[in-house]
A and B are shown apart, each in its own frame.
Chain A
Amino acid sequence: MDKENKTGKLEDEESKMWKKKLIWSWIILVPVIFFMYITKLFGFMLFDESVMSVIILVLSFPVIFIIGLQTLKSGFHGLLSLYFNMDSLISLGTVVAYLTGILSFFLSIQNYSGVSAMVMAIFVTGKYIESKARGKAGQEIRKLLEMGAKNARVLRGKEEIEILISKVRVGDIMLIKPGEKIPTDGVVIKGESSIDESMITGESFPVDKRKGDNAIGATVNQDGFLYVKALKVGSDTFLSHIIELVEETQSSKVPIQKLADKITAIFVPLVLGISVLTFIAWSFFGSFSYAFGAAISVLVISCPCALGLATPIALTVGSGMGAKKGILIRKGEAIQTMKEVRTVIFDKTGTITKGKPEVTDVKISGDTTKKEFLEIAGSLEKLSEHPLSKTVVNYSKLKNYKTVNNFRILRGKGVEGIISGKRYLIGNKSLITESGIDLKKFSKEISHFEDEGKTVVILSCETDKKAYGVFALSDSVKEDSAEALNELHKKNYCTVMITGDNERTAKAIAKVVGIKKVIANVLPEEKARKVSELQSESKDGLVAFVGDGINDAPALKQANVGIAMGTGTDIAIEAGDIILTNGSLMGVPKAIELSKATFSKIKQNLFWAFIYNTIAIPLAVAGVLNPIFAEIAMALSSITVVTNANLLRGKRI
């Protein structure tokens, strides 16, 4: 990983800067407070009042104009360039307050110069606490960034040398000892071990790895020596992709924040206007002293931060928590949509099942020998990429394949081709019956296999109009599929299974996991249309689709929320609103829970931010709040929002 944690570095620098300012401002403030209040409290004066005013002015000066220099610069730049920000409010508030200290020598108005220093100090303190909490909100992504290995031990010739991770090239052979991190994504070429992948997939058990298996960079080798050939480096690695994805999510928008964003955009000029009006009104109907106090309070109590941070901070915490558990939320929008979802549609192969079918039974008619049967079937299927075809090829274990002419793939059905002058078909039941071949002699076996949830592949010769034999393929259900569906049923979700398989096989699998509604015989290109049909049927809610990111991309897109199952290092970044990296269906109920929890935090935050500003600003206008309390309230409001978002971590997902 040559990616640097730049955001984290900025965050650290920022909070260090605030901390320094905080310490200095309070050191200076102690005497200011002493002169402002203590003397009054004890009823004696150390000096003459005008001398006191000068002392307070002198002490407050560095707090406003040195410690607050950056804030003033940014604030007045904002005022002049019309890019108003939070600093504009604080700058104007504190500078005006400070000036009352000078004006008080000439006019009989209240002196707010000591108050101005306190306001600045409280502002700085609030910012420090907020920046710390913001750093905490992003801690998961920081951990991800820091997770990558720093060095790698690679073989150069016969020598083992240790190099920086950024120097590793594709094709390098890396040697990994027990307890060490896998430097970058690759494939095991020698050795056996188990690897702890929990940091990436959330899967707590180490996964056994041997020659030919993939190893993911940043995961930890447990107990054996491994030689891994580097396949992906730098920004191409799985970890880099995850980080990229999470970062993008954290800056994506959730629809509910639209209003808050609109208000944030006009907030500062609006408050400036209210403050001016407050000043004018109080000057006419009250006194100048009051007018200054109220106008300053309005400036410093208003908090666009709470509003603007409400959504992104909760989204950051939520997506970070998800990433740790193998749930990658790609779009902030999905969090909001998820709470309306009532129906969850599952693809069968690779989603509910492992997606690695095996041949369990073979039945052959008397028209051919087993050798010839396997030769024809294997040679035909060799030319197809379908997972079922691959299973048949593996089973046939042919050394030499026969030449196939006029080969054709019949999508969703099977394949056909001519071998030694005879036309053969291999595929599902409908392919065979549609070409007018009688399946009567296998009908008992076929129904038996289908009842067991097995998929049947039939080889027949079209030239002879004869069925040669049947393969029964079984794709076992993932260990926790039933548990995941049970979770969903407990929460009253309607579940549907959709598959290209025939109804009997599909129903047998559905029964194992407890799904009642099955839509079978669906061609791959029809899946998206079926999803849309279910969307119009499901009147009381939206529809989520769970499937693999490659074949089911259109269906994932069509659904209101698309949940893509990642397989190993291959995360289909483009498809799906949510990606589950560890292949377990338990990720589905977890993702739903996480989305709901995050969204309710967003709502809480927005509610508080709105309520705060709608109560606080009128109070300040009314002149009932001292600017110091106004500033404390302001600081607390953004701290509350940020802290509340961090509380999301308490939720067990």
Chain B
Amino acid sequence: MKKKILVEGMHCASCATNIERSLKKVSGVSFANVSIMTKKAIVECNDKTSDEDLKKAVSKAGYKAISIE
């Protein structure tokens, strides 16, 4: 399953790396790619991964997930 997360608060390249690292730790996530240009995280996960988990991972790295689609 592919999910797109819009992230607020990213303003440097290491921010993107941090969010990527945090998202990859969520169970069920097999792929995460965060772009500072689009301010979006693209996550490949299975259906057991909840949006809540993803949001938590983003805030753990210090950023805010605005929406998940």
Query: Which A residues have a C-beta under 8 Å from some C-beta of B?
Result: 6-7, 10-11, 14, 74, 77-78, 81, 83-87, 127, 131, 134, 137-138, 247-248, 250-253, 261, 264-265, 267-268, 304-305, 307-309, 312-313, 315-316
Contacts and interface: CB of A to CB of B under 8 A. Distances in A.
B33 A252 contact: yes
B6 A7 contact: yes
A250 B11 contact: no
Contact of B35 (A264, A268, A305, A312): A312
B33 A250 contact: no
Nearest to A267: B14
A138 B37 contact: yes
14 contacts: A78-B18, A83-B62, A84-B18, A86-B11, A86-B15, A247-B38, A248-B42, A251-B40, A251-B42, A267-B14, A307-B13, A308-B17, A313-B37, A315-B37
Interface string B8-29: 1101111111100110000000
A265 B42 contact: no
A308 B35 CA distance: 10
B12 A247 contact: no
Nearest to A261: B17
B56 to A, nearest CB: 13
B68 interface: no
Contacts, number: 93
B62 A268 contact: no
B14 A264 contact: yes
Contacts of A74: 9, 62
B6 A81 contact: no
Interface string B29-64: 000011111111010000000000000000011100
B14 A304 contact: yes
Nearest to B16: A308
A81 B58 CA distance: 13
B65 to A, nearest CB: 12
A610 to B, nearest CB: 14
Contact of A86 (B12, B22, B33): B12
Interface residues of B, number: 27
A137 B37 contact: yes
B26 to A, nearest CB: 14
A252 B13 CA distance: 14
A146 to B, nearest CB: 16
Most buried by B among A85, A127, A248, A313: A85
Contacts of B15: 85-86
A20 to B, nearest CB: 15
Ranked nearest first, the 7 interchain pairs of A and B with the lowest CB-CB distance are: A308-B13, A251-B35, A86-B12, A83-B18, A85-B14, A77-B62, A304-B14
Contacts of B12: 85-87, 304-305, 308
B49 to A, nearest CB: 19
B18 A85 contact: yes
Nearest to A319: B37
Contact of A10 (B6, B35, B42): B6
A305 B13 contact: yes
Contacts of B40: 7, 247, 251
A370 to B, nearest CB: 57
A250 B14 contact: no
Nearest to A11: B39
A354 B20 CA distance: 45
A425 B66 CA distance: 63
Nearest to A134: B37
Contacts of B39: 7, 10-11
Contact of A316 (B33, B34, B37, B42): B37
B39 to A, nearest CB: 5
A131 B40 CA distance: 16
A560 to B, nearest CB: 23
Contacts of B6: 6-7, 10
B37 A250 contact: yes
Most buried by A among B9, B22, B60: B9
A83 B21 contact: yes
A84 B12 CA distance: 11
A525 B55 CA distance: 46
Contacts of B17: 261, 264-265, 308
B60 A81 contact: yes
Given A14-B11, A83-B18, A264-B13, 12 more contacts: A6-B67, A10-B8, A81-B62, A83-B21, A131-B11, A251-B38, A264-B14, A304-B13, A304-B14, A308-B16, A309-B36, A312-B13
Contacts of B22: 83
A643 to B, nearest CB: 15
Contacts of A252: 33
Contacts of A6: 6, 66-67
Given A127-B11, A131-B11, A305-B12, A265 B21 contact: yes
